[in-house]
Amino acid sequence: MTDCIATPHSQRENATLRTLVEEITEIIKFMTCMNRSYRKSELAQLADVSYSTFYRYLKSRRKKLSKLGCKLKAQTLRGEALDFVCRDYNITLPPEDPEPPKKHVKFW
């Protein structure tokens, strides 16, 4: 019956739990931002570079992006390709808007 009694965690276990929680929150952030797609021009603005500079960067990573299913001529990036570009170019994506877009109201 003593197995059911909760025992206080050691400092090592607490640290392990904290790192697991941090990893899970990072994964959740990643999954929520991966639902959205970004245009290459938006990513260039977030990276604070011109579109042509950003395009040259993408061109240099063509093989990796094609393995991730993204064509060089594609206008938008999403999923794993978006994650790769953001991590490789150090782009931080803004948080998604929590409120839904406003619907058009008809006035009769």
Region 1-12 average pLDDT: 58
- Does residue 23 belong to any structural domain of this protein? no
- Does residue 103 belong to any structural domain of this protein? no
Helix (H) / strand (E) element for 107: namely none
The string of pLDDT tens digits covering residues 64-97 is 999 988 888 889 988 888 889 999 998 888 876 5
**Considering the chain, what percentage of its residues have pLDDT values greater than 90?**
26
Inter-helix orientation angle 40-47/79-89, to 10°? 20
Structure-derived torsion over alpha carbons of residues 73, 75, 77, 81, reported in degrees to the nearest 10: 10
55: domain range? 37-93
- Look at the pTM and tell me if it is higher than 0.85: no
pLDDT at 26 over 80: no
Pairwise CA distance, residues 89 & 20, whole Å? 26
The predicted structure's pLDDT at residue 59: 92
Pairwise CA distance, residues 20 & 51, whole Å? 38
Q: How many independent structural domains does the chain possess?
A: 1
Mean pLDDT of the chain: 78
